[in-house]
Amino acid sequence: MIKHILVIIRRSNGDVLLASPLIQRLHEHYAGAEIDLLVNDDTLGIAKALPHVRQIHAYFYGWKKLPLWQRLRTEAGFIRKLFRQYDLAISLTTTDSSVLYALLFGRKSISAIDAEGRKSWWKQRLLDGAYQLDEGKPVILNNLQALALLGIPQGKVQLALQYTPQALANAQTKLQSLGVERFLIFHPSAQYDYKVYPEHLRYGLLEKLAGLGVSVVVTGAKTPLDLQIKASLPVLPNVHDLIGGTSLDEYIALSSLALAYVGGDTLNMHIAAAQGKRVFVIFGPTLLKLWSPWSNSLQRAASISQPVQTYGDITLFQADMPCVPCGQAGCDNRHGKSECLYRIDPAIISAEVKHWLEQQGLMDGEH
């Protein structure tokens, strides 16, 4: 009988959030089972936002910087603590260490593996179940492949997350101090600079959004990239700067209060989509089939590149270029410039936002 389950997700914030439908189905199928997570320490914030999670274990990147003997002792202690503590361990990450953790920590182990057989033969032999990642399928659906190996129907795929009551109270207090009621979120940053809409275009877009008669709250974290954007943020009417002004918990609460999300393809767009918000998202080189936001209402993501497309509550913008999307880290694949982002006209984005606001009766003078 399965009473204790460990889900291992050692990648980005987005990967962690997109595991929520798997956790939901495990929670529903194994009634009363306790579900724990193992994540990297830099994704603890979003891991805490996933429903139905009892405990979160963290792998700390700092361990790799320790002297060899100290690192081995630290990691051995970590393994000893969790060894065979779970009836079922599922790794959504294909790395050797993540697969080994699933094998060591679960009496039954399942993992994603890379399609390259030469790297994965030993994993297939040792694991109780394995599935190959499909690059033509959204990450959210790849994460659900483990269910078939367990004989569990996939069911409806619902991306979900939560926030604390204190975070909501804090977000409301921040909005009240700014005199903001109805507002759009404008999120200009991303984890990597090659995914960021260019400065002159994003500020042109911000200027157009500021003229729509609805407050615009600009959000971001405290990373060097976010703070660089903050330092050059133009002063505009109806625009309020909250870059670096919220915790992730508070941001999730803030997003739940917003009318819509306007910004890049980052964790924040997935948060807005999970909350059923109107999403206007700018995509550069990122692979659409893997990472486009999931529509809970339509039960699908985007699969075909188009300059402008709308599905459910999501409108997605891309450059009209034959190389889009390339899936690279910038045109040079070394975190350099992404030319495609320079080919997306802010006027097209603002026109879509304006049209939606008009449809909702939210333009200046109508609210």
Say how many C-beta atoms besides its own lie within 10 A of residue 299's C-beta: 11
pLDDT in tens, 329-340: 999 999 999 999
Whether residue 56 is predicted with pLDDT greater than 50 in this model: the reply is: yes
Which residues have C-beta within 8 Å of that of residue 42, sequence separation ≥ 6? 13, 61
Fold match between domain 4-149 and domain 165-360: yes
Residue 363: band (very low, low, confident or very high) from pLDDT cuts 50, 70, 90: confident
Whether residue 367 is predicted with pLDDT greater than 90 in this model: the reply is: no
Residue 120: band (very low, low, confident or very high) from pLDDT cuts 50, 70, 90: confident
Whether residue 366 is predicted with pLDDT greater than 70 in this model: the reply is: no
The span from the CA of 59 to the CA of 55, in Å, is 13
| H or E, element range at 252 | helix 248-257
Q: What is the pLDDT of residue 52?
A: 98
Whether residue 2 is predicted with pLDDT greater than 60 in this model: the reply is: yes
Mean pLDDT, residues 224-246 taken together: 96
CATH code of the domain made up of 165-360: 3.40.50.2000
CATH code of the domain made up of 4-149: 3.40.50.2000
Whether residue 365 is predicted with pLDDT greater than 70 in this model: the reply is: no
Angle at 247 between CA 19 and CA 142, to 5 degrees: 10
Domain ranges of the chain: 4-149, 165-360
